[in-house]
């Protein structure tokens, strides 16, 4: 229900001129869902002037009470989405997102994404990318703030705290200064040094001049030598300038 109220405010203007609101709802749902891979969703229904989907499933996650709408200019769609509940195992999240999408080129401008966990964890992000299938999709820019809690790290099974500091340093040293600056290296060491009990905010920035294919970023891990993580990470971030800042404490 919260998603419906939020999207009513965000999306109300999107439906003001629809001659056949339910048909428009169905068409917009198909357009938005086509961006997401491997999704199995209920039929969209118009409720209180807002397009909604009761339940959708993506792999092991269940999405409930999805509300969204969009306007379309020449070749561009402005989309607003809220999801009241994303259940992934024992964890639950709420999602709000606004983005602009150009179907002909695949260009996506993520204007705002907020994912809020039931334990106080959160992700806020903006970015630019081009979506053209698995092999052709390209990252251009991504900025994210991650509110970290011990519960979040446990759910993601992330615990670099058991790794020797020298091992983490070796991995970071495999990246050149153009990929990761000195302050980022120091902050990553501070962050991993307090895992799995880390609590605070990670600020992450990825800039890819000219764009870097997601496939290029993932392929090194598919072919990875488990004993040579520094080379693998360096290859995955080729062409990307990354910056990481760790701000400990309750947020």
Q: CA angle, corner 187, sides to 97 and 224, nearest 5?
A: 75
In tens, the pLDDT along 140-160 reads 999 999 999 998 888 777 766
Task: Quote the DSSP letter at residue 27.
Answer: H
**Residue 187 pLDDT > 90:** yes
Show the beta-strand stretches assigned E in 163-239.
Answer: 200-213
pLDDT of residue 124: 97
**Residue 2 pLDDT > 70:** no
Q: Provide the percentage of residues in the chain whose pLDDT is more than 90.
A: 40
pLDDT of residue 17: 47
In tens, the pLDDT along 41-98 reads 999 988 877 889 999 998 888 999 999 877 778 888 888 889 999 998 778 899 999 9
Q: How far is residue 103's CA from residue 78's CA, in Å, rounded to a whole number?
A: 11
Q: Of 73 and 198, which is predicted with more confidence?
A: 198
In tens, the pLDDT along 223-240 reads 777 778 888 889 889 999
End-to-end CA distance of the chain: 27
Q: Which residue has the tokens 């709000």?
A: 96
Q: Provide the percentage of residues in the chain whose pLDDT is more than 70.
A: 88
Residue 112 CB partners (closer than 8 Å, separation 6+): 96, 97, 98, 99, 124, 125, 126
CA-based nearest residue to 100, from 72, 136, 125, 67: 72
Q: How far is residue 87's CA from residue 55's CA, in Å, rounded to a whole number?
A: 11
In tens, the pLDDT along 93-112 reads 999 999 998 988 889 999 99
Average pLDDT, the chain: 84
Show the beta-strand stretches assigned E in the chain.
Answer: 39-41, 45-47, 50-58, 61-73, 76-88, 91-102, 107-117, 122-130, 138-148, 200-213, 240-248
Cα 184 → chain centroid? 21
**Residue 128 pLDDT > 80:** yes
């Amino acid at each position: 229900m919260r998603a419906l109220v939020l999207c009513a405010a965000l999306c109300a203007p999107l439906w003001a001129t629809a001659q056949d609101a339910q048909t428009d709802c169905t068409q917009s749902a198909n357009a938005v869902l086509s961006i997401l891979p491997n999704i199995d969703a209920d039929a969209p229904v118009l409720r209180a002037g807002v397009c909604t989907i009761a339940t959708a499933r993506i792999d092991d996650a269940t999405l409930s009470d999805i509300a969204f709408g969009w306007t379309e200019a020449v070749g561009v769609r402005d989309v607003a989405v809220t999801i009241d509940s994303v259940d992934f195992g024992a964890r639950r999240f709420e999602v709000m997102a606004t983005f602009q999408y150009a179907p002909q080129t695949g260009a996506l401008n993520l204007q705002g994404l907020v994912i809020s966990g039931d334990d106080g964890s959160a992700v806020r992000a903006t970015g630019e990318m081009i979506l053209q299938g698995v092999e052709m999709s390209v990252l251009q820019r991504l900025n994210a703030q991650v509110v970290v809690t011990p519960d979040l790290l446990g759910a993601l099974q992330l615990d670099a705290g058991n790794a020797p500091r020298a091992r983490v340093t070796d991995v970071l040293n495999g990246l050149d200064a153009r990929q990761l600056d000195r302050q980022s290296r120091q902050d990553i060491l501070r962050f991993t040094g307090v895992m799995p009990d880390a609590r605070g905010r990670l600020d992450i920035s990825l800039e890819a001049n000219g764009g870097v294919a997601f496939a290029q970023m993932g392929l090194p891990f598919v072919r990875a030598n488990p004993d040579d993580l520094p080379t693998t990470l360096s290859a995955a971030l080729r062409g990307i300038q990354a910056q990481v800042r760790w701000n400990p404490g309750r947020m």
